[in-house]
């Protein structure tokens, strides 16, 4: 796995490089945004970027913005490593797509744990089922920023076809949809893949309660409108619980 370290401070660069190379990672070093962009487009198979925010030519936010604008590389995971620990820097980094924010000096166990988390998510695919395109897109973007792969379906029928032809690690489905409802989809999934985690989302909490979803065999229950962290926590929790069950 090849990791690009974008850092102009030699001490911080050496520390990150030492941690990574000692643990079997291949590293590429860049001391500016311009140099980083050059490496990204050089054909080198970069899997992850460690990015400082304070760089000599432009700040790290500009590189995050650039990555987000590039279709082929916008999903590349970026971990911020910075001396700045103010809330605005953290929030801006996450809003621009960073998957982690570590304070300098970075600690080996924390960095390696975060990388391991990212690697594990890259191999996990979440199926999103909702007849509203806006909700499908929102869920996909939210989970992809966390490093998950996503597949979207606009109906229960489409979802079942995807499940027949792809490996899926978890499903998030709206309850109230045209033709096949989310509950009917849940029943169909339980007949085929009883161990597959399925989370239900709804904007009709009075009609569909958590108790109803528990009885139907759902692994999670989320009410619209939801916050991004609720989706992320729900996915993380069901995947973790299934892994140890």
- Read off the pLDDT band of 208 (50, 70, 90): confident
Structure confidence by residue, pLDDT tens digits, 33-62 = 999 999 998 878 888 999 999 999 999 999
CATH tag for 123-244 (out of 2.102.10.10, 3.40.50.2300, 3.40.1010.10, 3.40.640.10): 3.40.50.2300
* Cα distance between residue 31 and residue 203, in whole Å: 48
Which pTM was predicted? 0.60
Domain ranges within the chain, ordered by starting residue: 2-120, 123-244
Average pLDDT over the chain, rounded to whole?
91
Cα(124)–Cα(144) distance, rounded to whole angstroms?
Answer: 11
List the Cα angle 153/156/157 in 5-degree steps: 95
2-120 shares its CATH topology with 123-244: yes
How would residue 192 be classed by pLDDT, with cut points 50, 70 and 90? confident
Q: Which of the four CATH numbers 3.90.930.12, 3.40.50.2300, 3.30.70.980, 3.40.50.10490 does domain 2-120 have?
A: 3.40.50.2300
Measure the CA–CA gap between 100 and 81, rounded to whole angstroms.
9
What share of the chain in percent tops pLDDT 70?
98
Contact of 197 with 238, CB cutoff 8 Å: yes
Give tens-digit pLDDT for 216-243: 899 999 999 999 999 999 998 888 776 5
């Amino acid at each position: 796995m090849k990791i690009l370290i974008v850092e102009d401070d030699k001490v911080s660069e050496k520390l990150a490089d030492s941690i990574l190379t000692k643990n079997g990672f291949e590293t590429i070093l860049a001391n500016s945004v311009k140099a980083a962009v050059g490496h990204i487009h050089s054909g080198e198979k970069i899997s992850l970027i460690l990015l400082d925010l304070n760089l000599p030519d432009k700040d790290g936010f500009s590189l995050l913005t650039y990555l987000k604008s590039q279709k082929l590389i916008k999903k590349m995971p970026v971990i911020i490593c910075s001396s700045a620990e103010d809330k605005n820097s953290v929030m801006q980094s996450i809003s621009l797509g960073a998957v982690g924010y570590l304070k300098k000096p970075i600690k080996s166990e924390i960095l390696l744990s975060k990388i391991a988390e990212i690697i594990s998510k890259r191999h996990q695919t979440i199926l999103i089922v909702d007849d509203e395109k806006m909700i499908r897109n929102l869920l996909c973007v939210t989970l992809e920023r966390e490093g998950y792969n996503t597949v979207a379906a606009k109906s229960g029928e489409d979802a079942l076809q995807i499940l027949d032809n792809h490996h899926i690690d978890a499903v998030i489905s709206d309850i109230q949809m045209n033709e096949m409802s989310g509950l009917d989809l849940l029943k169909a999934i339980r007949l085929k893949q009883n161990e597959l985690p399925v989370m239900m989302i709804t904007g009709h909490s009075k009609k569909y309660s958590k108790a109803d979803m528990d009885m139907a065999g759902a692994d999670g229950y989320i009410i619209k409108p939801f916050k991004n962290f609720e989706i992320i926590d729900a996915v993380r929790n069901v995947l973790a619980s299934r892994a140890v069950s």
